[in-house]
Structure 1
Amino acid sequence: MAAVGRLSQKLLKSAALTQTRQLSAAVAHSEQAAKTWKILSFVVALPGVAVCMLNMYLRAQQHSHEQPEFISYSHLRIRSKRFPWGDGSKTLFHNPHVNALPDGYEQHDH
């Protein structure tokens, strides 16, 4: 009986040691993965965001800021009931330079 008890203790110690090694390997792997993702964030993601910002800035510089011509299409700008804010004819995020009312733009570019 004593031999079986010692054998089971050795097996338990061996299993615990194996599990500890596996956990330490997993921790080392997760630390390496964290380093990899941190490096990728600085080397790939941040420059990618910077390039996208530069692209949008350059496109905004080339964009024409003229007001588009107003064409009164019958299927656009239909107001079946008034909006509950303001004077009732403007949308919540109304921009007088870009968004036309049913009868035309509020402001005209000169």
Structure 2
Amino acid sequence: MKQKLLLLAAVFFGVMAFMLTFQQINQEKKKIQAATTEVAVIQLVKDIAENEPITEDAIRGAKIKMYASQLSSSRHIPYSQKSLIINRKAQLSIQRGKILQWNDLQNAVSGG
């Protein structure tokens, strides 16, 4: 009888430990999600070959979550700056679905 009681107590405390750990993990997830902000970026909707210009129909807006500390150092191109990338050529071939980054594009050459 005593062994059954010990086994029952061990199972009970195991279940309690699981529940408390699960609750703690969910609280930590919520803290992390609260620290992020949603950012509108540019995503490719078709494959782009090397040296091919980026066209309006090749891109769309997409939202991603980022930490505020990452915003200033991010290489992602904000959707608000899409006019700066239209007709810019791709540095290398870029696959459909990729979030466009500044280093995916060739340097702009200003005429003068």
Say which structure is richer in helix: 1
Q: Which has the higher contact order (CA 8 A, sep 6+)?
A: 2
Largest Rg, 1 or 2: 1
Say which structure is richer in strand: 2
Fold shared, TM-score > 0.5 on shorter chain: no
